[in-house]
Amino acid sequence: MVGAPGAASHPGDDAPTVSVIIATYNWSEALRCAIASVLAQTMGNFELLVVGDACTDETGAVVESFADARVAWINLPHNHGSQYGPNNAGLARARGRYVAYLGHDDLWWPGHLAAALNVFERTGADIVGSVTALYGPPESGIRAITGLFPEDTYSPRYFFPPSSLLHTRALLERVGPWRGPSEARVAVDQDFLLRCYEAGATVAPTRELTVFKFNAAWRRDSYRDRSASEQQDWLRRIAAGGEDFRRAELMALLQCWVEDRLHRIEYPTHDMPLAQVSHTANASFKGSARASPQCRVELRRGRVLFSPEEAYSGFEWYAEELNPVHGRYRWSGPSRRSSIVFPLDVPQGSRISVCVLEAIDEAMLADIVLELNDVRAPTTLERRDDGTYRLSAVLGETAPADDGEAALKITLVVPRTRRPIDAGKGNDRRWLGVAVGAVEVIAPAA
């Protein structure tokens, strides 16, 4: 079904109980999985409004392929660059007593809507928050959990994502629509939830794990690669495993807690500009905005020398440290894949040398791989007189950046990460790979 953008609707006797809104932009394969998880709900009295932010790919055809009368496809004429525009267009058409949101790259458990409606009826709350498992990139082993609050009492410190959020449609009369980045004090989803809280909305948790979120902001270039392999895998596992799957996911969360891989999500309530800066950095990292430099650049005797810069990097690097002899460095981890992006046009044939100060396990050094602009390069390892190591590779032919910006992306792939506490190296509980100092780029001789 195709609807006109922004056309207002009013509930009638045939109005659905829940209006589900999916904001989307040109990620049709992940969207296919999200829609499938909505249509698998045990509570079927809903309408699904899929709102494209001026999509230009095959998204419309994917939506209409489900051929379900409950599903409506609305493609906005202008791109907003944020979910606030599609969400507001969906709200203008919503007819349900309740509104639910689902990220186009997230999934719901089949009992998600039923569990939330039970809480609405039992508590009379304005907002219901479902328990969500958030997954870091597979190479990191990181997970997180949201939607649980101390003593079941919500505060803005404990943000939960839109895929977890359901609210009464009547709440909009007190809060108003979603605000865009130019108006919002923080990220638009956090801003909407914060304004609901400030308007006196009551929040109740379901205490049930019913949302599975593959956080795009934790995956480098996710909005450029647009892979849906994780969503496809989880959707198959949900269908095949039933409650056994959900029990296994809860056990995996407990295992992450034991291994110090359970990431805590809390937001500062006193420093809103800091949260906005974090949102901007996330957009750059996931590829929905132009990349920001991640390094310092120096020129020495005709060579270009880079040193690590403190910047948002998902779960690929830890904070910058200082070695008294070798200067600034950063440990890779907890992910086994760690990238640095340099804003430089590097000619083919240039030699890239990475200074490794230390490895958490020296045996792994022989198996480290360098990727240059996402192409695996033959890598050599040299132990230097000062006890450090030099990883080197030559830049071959690579595809130009799709945004036209000159850049060199270097990715270190280590076979494993370890905690120093497990390796008998003190009480450090971080999952470390290698400590990386300067990176040198030597152009080929003319």
Q: How confident is the model at residue 402 (pLDDT cuts 50, 70, 90)?
A: low
Q: What angle do CA 148, 223, 339 make, to 5 degrees?
A: 90
In tens, the pLDDT along 158-209 reads 989 999 999 999 999 999 999 999 898 888 999 999 999 999 999 999 999 9
Residue 155 lies in a domain: yes
The per-residue pLDDT for 310 is: 58
Beta bridge partners of 391: 354, 381
Structural domain including 342 reads: 295-442
Residue 9 lies in a domain: no
Top mean pLDDT of 49-53, 79-83, 276-280 is at 49-53
Parallel, antiparallel, or unpaired for β 327-331 and 203-213? unpaired
Whether residue 100 sits in one domain with residue 63: yes
Predicted model pTM: 0.89
Percent of the chain with pLDDT over 90: 70
Question: What's the gap between Cα 255 and its chain centre?
Answer: 21
The per-residue pLDDT for 6 is: 37
In tens, the pLDDT along 361-375 reads 999 999 999 999 999
Residue 3 lies in a domain: no
* Residue that is last in its domain, among 286, 311, 339: 286
pLDDT at 314 over 90: no
Residue 10 lies in a domain: no
Q: Which residues contact 379 (CB under 8 A, 6 or more apart)?
A: 368, 369, 370, 391, 392, 393
Whether residue 267 sits in one domain with residue 154: yes
pLDDT at 302 over 70: no
Whether residue 419 sits in one domain with residue 349: yes
Whether residue 257 sits in one domain with residue 353: no
In tens, the pLDDT along 240-299 reads 999 999 999 999 999 999 999 999 888 765 554 444 445 556 667 776 655 555 555 554
Whether residue 341 sits in one domain with residue 232: no
In tens, the pLDDT along 212-225 reads 999 998 998 888 88
CATH number at residue 192: 3.90.550.10
* Residue that is last in its domain, among 286, 310, 345: 286
pLDDT at 399 over 80: no
Whether residue 234 sits in one domain with residue 301: no
The per-residue pLDDT for 202 is: 97
Q: How confident is the model at residue 4 (pLDDT cuts 50, 70, 90)?
A: very low
CATH number at residue 422: 2.60.120
pLDDT at 46 over 60: yes
Q: Mean per-residue pLDDT for 368-386? A: 93
Residue 13 lies in a domain: no
Whether residue 106 sits in one domain with residue 203: yes
> What is the average pLDDT value for the chain, to the nearest integer?
88
Q: How confident is the model at residue 391 (pLDDT cuts 50, 70, 90)?
A: very high
Residue 11 lies in a domain: no
* Residue that is last in its domain, among 286, 313, 332: 286
The per-residue pLDDT for 309 is: 61
Whether residue 185 sits in one domain with residue 65: yes
Whether residue 268 sits in one domain with residue 160: yes
The per-residue pLDDT for 408 is: 85
Q: Mean per-residue pLDDT for 94-122? A: 98
The CB density around residue 224, as the number of other CB atoms within 10 Å, is 14
In tens, the pLDDT along 410-446 reads 999 999 999 999 999 999 999 999 999 888 888 887 5
The per-residue pLDDT for 104 is: 97
Greater pLDDT, 305 or 439: 439
- How many structural domains is the chain composed of? 2
Whether residue 253 sits in one domain with residue 371: no
In this structure, what token pair is assigned to residue 277?
């800066």
Whether residue 279 sits in one domain with residue 315: no
Whether residue 306 sits in one domain with residue 232: no
